[in-house]
A and B are shown apart, each in its own frame.
Chain A
């Protein structure tokens, strides 16, 4: 009990620190709402600072300068100043390695929680010279790449996911330590790029529940198993080509899909309320996710019923996405991650 105020204070401090950091970034790096695409890295977006190696060289140069003064080494001065000049010139070279690049957010397919969200960027080098040793960084992960002269590269950044819901790529950094590793030039931007993180499917879920409305199973169902042919229905995009009634098409008729009746199948009703009360919200979502995948694999139609959401029975990729998205967005606790 005594810890409660402390932990509360801790979280408040954490929140304060985060908000201060964000405010600082907004002010310093002009990071705010997602930048409209394409994000062109012009002069004012690029920042440069020495790296650790740069500070190391500075210390070495200071030692060399003192030695030159102490021993009155004319060429010692010249060498020290030459290396210093090269280091200063490398600031401009690092800057030049980034300036003029443009970044366009690509896509990011949905991902199950725990997997890697693969954000895809299109990065264009309009200049007729190569850009070396670039690094794209977000969510603590990075991808290294080079850009040839007048090249467009598709760069994929794999970021880990730990929560379901929408995941924005958020604050992204494109940086380079080229040419000498003494100077880091970077640009911060927020691309308009995000993805849906589905809940993590339960590893070993119980078998699919049978639809409650059609009790007394065992009789032939107008479901979509593939044991026995039961009839034809109009073709839907999501239908497997194996089930298209090609003979009908060959006769010049419309695209029809052959329907089969599975034994003991029937529309599965995946109902939040039917789940054992011992399960907490996230466990329920995990189980529902696993069931949706299982139903899709088995080729069965399924309906999803969540508190406040009701999705009628169907089957196919679009339906699956709709259901999984509903699960992903269901009763999201707290603000969505990294959406600023």
Chain B
């Protein structure tokens, strides 16, 4: 039934040139403000504090202005603010060109744009800035909660556009329409996400700061550098073993091999690379899939000792698996490990000579100790046994918070403070071995890992960072010796938390007594892992795999574009069908009357739009005198049913019958 009503739609508008700017309603500004707040919220974790504070202040100002119904601030004031922000960004970041200053500038522009909103175009630009900022947060964090927040931000931005187009709709209706649009956009997103031809980035050289602020091992080691990582629960990588897991004592994930020692800091030395490892894999074999978080380094952190793999890997003479380029994004590798492989059986003399070098003028007491331990003569293996025995007897304590050490770091650790973390143990042991004339080097990496009971993956965190020693023995090659195990055997068998002495404060997540918290974390880790693997890890290779599974063996651009077009047409067709499906007012009486009128129109007597049923009936009766009675009956009945008080289904059926029985001649 139509609610007929007359509307005088507005005074004649002025000519377009003189149109006054339509003042924006508070609702329009409100949605935009909410969108900007949701968009900028996750950024505050990565912005310098002054920038977060400034953004909050500007958004608060905007909110206050809306609340007080005040006009936007003066243009000159905004211009001054913009210039000041640009100067601030330049001062804080040192340059303009780069990812971080760019994002900071965009954030400030968004806040300032909100303050100067006067016209529809301003809202549109602010919405575009919101979209850019939602993308920019993904440089830092692509986790599930951030993704959810980005979807909320997109929703609010879309509602802001809706409010701009249709300020008369209610808030709930706008939110609903926005959600409907998002829902209709989802299938397109899925299709494009899966099938859009993926290109492995980068397209050009990334700015220097593209992968800044990555935590993880560095290619140097000095006292304190690994214990800094010890408290970080951040995930370094995950490993999914196809068969059984290696025992904890075999879980050594190799990072940089540190040969050069300057008395305080250990450094890597360059070693030749080749396409195949210098050793022949032997013994037990473990196959696993490693999902490595980006660490901006070339080493792969493969489990000792990696064999040839499908991926294009390089192998250094120090038994490392290396990537062609520094790792900038989370990546997946299919790897295998042979932990019992002998390595370095025919090591070059250059390498061995480098593994014996000690700087003069450092750690005299340690050198003296080494001299004492070698005094009895014997093979390198016998010397090794004696050094181990000595260390085991020297009452060293394993601690996450070692005291600061001075110039003779090894001496102070061994003889004075006797407290240290793995890097102290490895450093001291290697220095002792070199002083005793046995080639030795430090290997940094990760040791251990925690099995997530939810998905069975081995999760290795930054807190599992470790350093150990490799000693070269004639006939046996490089032999791994983990001096930390001498003082804290639990570190190797059960991890950091078990190895630390009673009473040492642990990060919350590592506490053994909070079982439910650990369980929660396991679940969350499993979910994040699935997210990382399925969503974030979707790259050209995964795309090829998916298409192969769908039955498209040969994948090229034309095929993908064809597939995309086909699905797009199908999706648009479905949407069009939805759009054309009109939910008409389902009134049987009205439907019958419409059918009757169109039948009469076909017979040459259309009803005029302004003509009521009674007038129409009279006109029809005059035009068709033979059916006059029937026609008058029909039209009067319709008028009675349509405008009368009561209406029965039977009456409508009777009317329908009358209409059907009417014969036109």
Chain A interface residues toward B at CB < 8 A? 37-38, 43, 53, 56-57, 60, 63-64, 66-93, 95-96, 99-100, 104, 116, 122, 124, 126-130, 132-133, 136, 140-146, 148, 150-158, 177-182
Contacts and interface: CB of A to CB of B under 8 A. Distances in A.
Contact of A86 (B8, B184, B210): B184
A106 B187 CA distance: 43
A82 B185 contact: yes
Interface stretch (B133-141, B229-237, B383-391): B133-141
B267 interface: no
Contacts of B585: 126, 128, 150
A76 B135 contact: yes
B200 interface: yes
Contacts of B1: 150
B248 interface: no
Contacts of B181: 86, 89-90, 93, 179-180
Contacts of B165: 132-133, 177-181
A78 B131 CA distance: 12
A63 B135 CA distance: 11
A98 B164 CA distance: 19
B12 interface: yes
Contacts of A142: 13
A139 to B, nearest CB: 11
B150 A86 contact: no
Interface string B185-226: 111110011001001111110100010000000000000000
Given A79-B154, A93-B184, 15 more contacts: A60-B131, A69-B202, A71-B206, A73-B135, A75-B142, A75-B147, A86-B181, A86-B184, A91-B572, A92-B575, A133-B166, A140-B15, A152-B4, A180-B181, A182-B161
B6 interface: yes
A148 B15 CA distance: 28
A207 B159 CA distance: 64
B201 A92 contact: no
Interface string B582-624: 1111000000000000000000000001000000000000000
B189 A99 contact: no
Contacts of B124: 53, 56, 181
A89 B184 CA distance: 6
A265 to B, nearest CB: 39
Contacts of B200: 72
A136 B7 CA distance: 14
A57 B158 CA distance: 12
B2 to A, nearest CB: 5
Contact of A143 (B10, B210, B568): B10
Contacts of B12: 116, 141, 158
Looking at B185, B535, B538, B572, the one whose CB has the most chain A CB atoms below 10 A away is B185
Contacts of B9: 136, 143-145, 153-157
A1 B99 CA distance: 68
A95 B576 CA distance: 9
Given A141-B13, A142-B13, A152-B5, A132 B572 contact: no
B452 interface: no
Contacts of A68: 135
B185 A148 contact: no
A79 B171 CA distance: 24
B539 A72 contact: yes
A133 B484 CA distance: 73
A152 B585 CA distance: 13
Top 5 closest pairs, chain A to chain B, by CB: A85-B188, A85-B185, A158-B12, A89-B184, A86-B185
Given A70-B201, A70-B204, A85-B188, A148 B579 contact: no
Nearest to A134: B9
B177 A151 contact: no
B479 interface: no
Given A86-B185, A93-B181, A37 B142 contact: no
Looking at A67, A75, A99, A129, the one whose CB has the most chain B CB atoms below 10 A away is A75
Nearest to A125: B2
B328 A83 contact: no
A126 B151 CA distance: 34
Interface in B547-575: 568, 572, 575
B172 to A, nearest CB: 13
Contact of A74 (B5, B186, B538, B584): B538
Nearest to B129: A60
30 contacts: A69-B202, A69-B203, A70-B204, A71-B202, A72-B200, A72-B201, A72-B328, A73-B135, A73-B142, A74-B538, A75-B138, A75-B150, A76-B138, A83-B185, A85-B188, A88-B188, A91-B572, A92-B576, A93-B181, A93-B184, A95-B576, A99-B579, A99-B582, A128-B584, A132-B168, A132-B169, A145-B7, A156-B9, A177-B165, A179-B177
Contacts of A87: 185
A129 B538 CA distance: 41
B135 A126 contact: no
Contacts of B333: none
Interface in B1-57: 1-13, 15
Nearest to B12: A158
Given A53-B124, A70-B204, A100-B582, A83 B3 contact: no
B184 A85 contact: yes
A278 to B, nearest CB: 35
Contacts of B609: 37-38, 104, 122
A141 B181 CA distance: 31
Contacts of B6: 153-154
B182 A86 contact: yes
Contact of B158 (A78, A84, A145, A180): A180
A80 B539 CA distance: 16
A73 B139 CA distance: 7
A84 B201 CA distance: 21
Interface in B407-462: none
Contacts of A153: 5-7, 9
Contacts of A126: 582, 584-585
Contacts of B379: none
B128 interface: yes
A85 B186 contact: yes
B120 interface: yes
A81 B3 contact: no
Looking at A126, A142, A154, A180, the one whose CB has the most chain B CB atoms below 10 A away is A180
Contacts of B196: 77, 81
B228 to A, nearest CB: 27
B537 interface: yes
Contacts of A127: 582-584
B362 interface: no
B610 to A, nearest CB: 9
A63 B132 CA distance: 9
A143 B11 CA distance: 8
A74 B132 contact: no
B185 A152 contact: no
B135 A80 contact: yes
A56 B131 CA distance: 13
A43 B580 contact: yes
B162 interface: yes
A141 B164 CA distance: 21
Contact of A56 (B5, B128, B199, B572): B128
B10 to A, nearest CB: 6
B280 interface: no
B329 interface: yes
Contacts of B184: 85-86, 89, 92-93
